[in-house]
Amino acid sequence: MQIAFLMAPEGVEQIELTEPWEAVTDSGDKPRLVSTRPGLVQAFHHLDKADTFPVDQVVTETSADEYGALVLPGGVANPDALRMNKDAVAFVRAFFYAGKPVAAICHAPWMLVEADVVRGRTLSSWPSLRTDIRNAGGEWEDEQVSICTVAPSTLITSRKPADLKAFCAAFIAEFAKAADVAAGS
């Protein structure tokens, strides 16, 4: 199954990209980096530039139909830039409408707020997003991992890089369930 990783051209927190990417690869699925521009994505270690990663597809040239699930890595600048791009927001929303699982960590739930998909859902995030999530109709909780299924989709969220091991295990399990359902198992 192909898994989309949506990122802005710069600002993603590197560890929130690389650890989930490795978890997807280790599970036998195929991660694909989707961004708003072709070329390279500049990752960060907090506020310092880190590595760059090649974009596989531009968001305007793909759709949720090509993927089984979506991962939204955080970093403060990454979701802040993405939520200003109507195509990126529509891409995220499409996963929810299609009933495909979505995983988001740290500041990435800003994209969920912008896509108007948090109403009636319980989720975790970096604590500073608490008010944004509540104002968008969601319920915020300070948990290592939150799994919330509201038909037709499942949302897996987490607070911060220290939660990555639990976050990756949870979304890999949920993605596998979704793949089994899609395959008719």
Region of 14 (left: φ > 0; alpha: ψ -120 to 50; beta: rest) is alpha
Helix axes 14-26, 164-183, angle to 10 degrees: 40
Domain that holds residue 150: 2-183
**CATH classification of the domain holding 79:** 3.40.50.880
Catalytic residue among 46, 107, 148, 168: 107
Catalytic residue among 45, 106, 148, 168: 106
Is 46 in the active site?
no
Is 107 in the active site?
yes
Mean pLDDT over residues 35-43, rounded? 98
pLDDT at residue 185 in the model:
58
Tell me the pLDDT band of 182, cut-offs 50, 70 and 90. Answer: confident
pTM above 0.95, yes or no: yes
**Considering its fold, how many domains does the chain have in total?**
1
